[in-house]
Amino acid sequence: MNGPGTRLRTALAAADDDRLLLDLTGIEESHDALLRELPGVHVRFAMKACPAGEVLTRLAARGAGVDAASPREIAQALAAGVPPARIHYGNTVKSDRDIAHAHRLGITDFATDNAEDVAALAAHAPGARVFCRLATDGDGALWGLAGKNGCSAEDAVRVLETARAAGLTPAGLSVHVGSQQMTAGAWRTALDRLAAVLAALRRRGIALDHLNLGGGLPALGYRDRHGRDLDPPLDKIFAVLREGMRQLADESPHPLDFRIEPGRHLVADHGAIRAHVSRLATRRAPDGTPRHWLYLSCGKFNGLYEMDAVQYRLVFPTRPGSPAVPAVVAGPTCDSDDAFSPGHLVPVPADAASGDPVWILSSGAYALSYMTREFNGFAPLPYSCVGDDGATASERHPADES
């Protein structure tokens, strides 16, 4: 990805204060492109990646559903026009109260990965449909997400047998190969695991109606922690998914639907933050080595939580062609974690001055949802949505979505 599209660039140039900008048309285009790559798949947007009501409404109008992790997310999705039948409670960690609340809101599909959760679902969401999440190792992903969620293949069979015995409907299986998955092989392994569990369930008289391929589809605009462009093999990933879906459907004696839970893949590259330079300064390390530091108005606690795993592309629109110096990029707070690792230097204009605008690209994923309320007194960024002409709608704040 070479940079923001015309709509986003126009909005960034027009912005005169700090904010996150979201290109809704670009997000729609990513959704449509995904359906062309994986015909027949049902999208369940992982709304935690960008819980903006406008995004949910646009995707719902195109037939997408939502992967929700809590009753609050469910309520927000419903308010944005997503029908209950296209919302599932995808979190395997949930209390009795939250299960009952989701059930009252009309949710019928619940993720699970243990027998205790199944018992709670039977008690507080009677008649629910359950899908069991299989564990993966997360290898090849920037964020592996292994350990907390998912169970073994053997446990998955037992969990769904327990669900059937408890009067629930064993409806599906799910996987998650890790966030920003960079290999096609991880998907191949996950598909093989799904096939093995499906076969074991069929031998026990359990016929599922869907498989959930989870999240993990990568964004294109990141750099790695060393400043190198990431180049996810999307074509190979899609080819593996298409072939795996075809094989699983062919082997199933019953119709089998497929779901997928894209988050950052749909929104990351269609969002950008307009921030500004707080200071470009030089400090000497204890050994006397001088080092440039670029302090930005936006950092880990107000929009760039993932800055320890990726480097966002920075554009300095008022300093084109200026000589560059290598600098550590840091946010505005006094927390030492609010910075790229000191070993990862970014070229910045040597004449950068306090107040200069900075465009932080491919920051549409997790900027809204990972912001603190007001750590060190730095408020969460407002956000605006970009129209087809590059103009922005009225300012919104993350608190507006609660």
Does residue 385 carry a pLDDT above 60?
A: yes
Q: How far apart are the first and last CA of the chain?
A: 33
Residue spans of the domains in the chain: they are 38-262, 269-401
For residue 332, what are its two tokens? Answer: 């505005």
Helix (H) or strand (E) holding 292: strand 290-296
Fold of the domain spanning 38-262? TIM Barrel (3.20.20)
Does residue 398 carry a pLDDT above 80?
A: no
User: Residue 152's pLDDT band (boundaries 50, 70, 90)?
Assistant: very high
Superfamily grouping for domain 269-401 = Lyase, Ornithine Decarboxylase; Chain A, domain 1 (2.40.37.10)
Eight-class DSSP state of 370: T
Amino acid at 1: M
Share of the chain above pLDDT 70, in %: 96
Segment among 4-18, 235-249, 254-268, 335-349 with least mean pLDDT: 335-349
354 within 8 A of 278, measured Cβ to Cβ: yes
- The values of phi and psi at residue 260, to 5°, are -145, 150
Pairing of strands 19-23, 65-68: unpaired
Helix (H) or strand (E) holding 234: helix 234-251
pLDDT tens-place string over residues 219-242 = 999 988 777 888 999 999 999 999
Handedness of CA 265, 32, 131, 99 (dihedral sign): positive
E-assigned strand segments in 41-195:
42-46, 65-68, 87-89, 109-112, 129-133, 141-143, 169-174, 179-181
Eight-class DSSP state of 47: G
User: Residue 399's pLDDT band (boundaries 50, 70, 90)?
Assistant: low
Interval 367-373 mean pLDDT: 92
